[in-house]
Structures are given as structure tokens and as C-alpha cells.
Amino acid sequence: MQLLIINGPNLNLLGHREPDIYGTQTFEDVLLRIRQKYPSYKIGYFQSNHEGELVDRVQTTLAEELDGVVLNLGALTHYSYALHDALKMVKCPKVEVHISHIFSREAFRHQSVIAPACDGMISGLGTAGYDLAIQWLAAKGQ
């Protein structure tokens, strides 16, 4: 199973940014946990604070043989039609993940413009959402 996790803006500060909302684990901690939990899976990782770099990375998946993509695009989730358009081209399953419960926060966070380009969404379950997305992708791939 070959998977890719793509994180967007401010997720490089996980563990430091609003720990009451996002928790105290860094994403390095989360990634280590995931890779230990799924040792036979090849799990790539990419993070950027820049929309264009994220679009470029999504586009490169077109030439890769991936079994799935897990995405947490942060605030870009709510307004990046460029990422929506890039994701629509990706043929493998895609799961949108949000650490916080986006529907219980500010009104502008209630809409995801990338959701129609993804196969599913996990919101509000903390960093366990990444694990759940991987479990779903694994089940879909069998």
C-alpha cells in the first residue's frame, strides 16, 4: 500500500498552534505513530504553507502509483478552487482530514471547496483522523 499525506498551511506548527484545539503532538509525532502502526505501508509526506506548492504536489501524484491520498489542507480547504481542480484530476481515492470539528467553529470553516473532489471527510476526531483515513483507504484497496 503506497499512500501520501499532504498537509497545508500552519500544520508545520502542530503541537504549538492552539493546543486546546489541535492538541500537543507535533506532526512528526503523528507521522511516526502512523508509520509504526502500518510498517508494511509506504507512507509519503508533504507539507507546505504555499498554495502553489501544494497544487504542484497534488499534480505530481498523477505520475505516481498511489493507493490513496490523505489531505489536510488547513485554511485552503475553505477557498482554494485551484486545489479542488487539481484534486479532481487525481484518480486514486482521496480523504480530507480535519483535526478540529470544522462545523462547530467559525462559519467560514463550515464549507469545504475541496470536499466534492474527495471521496470522504473526517472532521473533529483529532489526529486519529489520519489513522482512520488510512484504515479506510486500506479497506478500499483490498
Which residue range is the domain that position 112 belongs to? 2-141
Contact 62, 4 (CB under 8 A): no
pLDDT of residue 16: 79
Of the residues 16, 81, 98, 130, which is catalytic? Answer: 98
Distance CA 37, CA 35 (A): 5
pLDDT of residue 97: 96
Is 98 among the residues known to form the active site? yes
Of the residues 22, 38, 81, 101, which is catalytic? Answer: 22
As for how many domains the chain has, the answer is: 1
What does each of the 142 residues of the chain score in pLDDT, given as a tens digit? 999 999 999 899 887 777 776 667 888 999 999 999 999 999 999 999 999 999 999 999 999 999 999 999 998 998 899 999 999 999 999 999 998 767 556 666 557 899 999 999 999 889 999 999 999 999 987 6
pTM of the complete model: 0.90
Is 78 among the residues known to form the active site? no
CATH number of the domain encompassing residue 46? 3.40.50.9100
